[in-house]
Amino acid sequence: MASGDMVRPGSGAAQVYGPGPGAGREPANLGDILERVLDKGLVIAGDIQVNLLDIELLTIKLRLVIASLDTAREVGIDWWESDPWLNSRAAEQAGGQEELEEENRRLRARLQALESGR
């Protein structure tokens, strides 16, 4: 088991201390990389606008983290509450505001089209 002197890990590689399977060195895991490249890093506007918060990619992010959140919250760990990703999920859960707005827009447009078609 790893203790005492630390094997200097390569970037992203994991060094494990304490109980559990696979104590010792582990290779960088995809989750750690995705967590960083999707959610961290410098945000300056590009010419091609894909708001990572808006699109369904959110579901991937959620698949990565959310599964543990309810349990974690139960245990009393809630420091990620300021995370914009999760806030947008919270908003979504609270009634899907954006979706509703979008649906309203669509319905209004449809109504207009129908009325003008008369």
Site for another protein, rule CB under 8 A: 3-6, 8-9, 11-23, 26, 28-50, 52-53, 55-57, 60, 63-69, 71-72, 74-77, 79-80, 83-88
Minimum CB distance to another protein smaller for 4 or for 117: 4
Q: Whose Cβ is closer to another protein: residue 28's or residue 107's?
A: 28
Return the number of the residue (37 or 113) whose C-beta is nearest another protein.
37
Q: Which is nearer to another protein, 27 or 112 (CB)?
A: 27
Distance of closest approach, residue 81 Cβ to another protein, in angstroms: 9
Residue partners of 33: CB distance under 8 A and separation at least 6: 12
* In contact, 67 and 60? CB cutoff 8 Å: no
Residue 13, phi then psi, degrees to nearest 5: -70, 150
CB of 11 to another protein, least distance (A): 5
For residue 73, CA distances in Å to 19, 58, 69 come to 23, 20, 6
Helix (H) or strand (E) holding 88: helix 84-93
> Residue 93 CB, nearest distance to another protein (Å)?
15
Would you give the DSSP letter of residue 26? E
Q: What is the largest CA-CA distance in the chain?
A: 81
Report in angstroms how near the CB of residue 103 gets to another protein at its nearest.
19
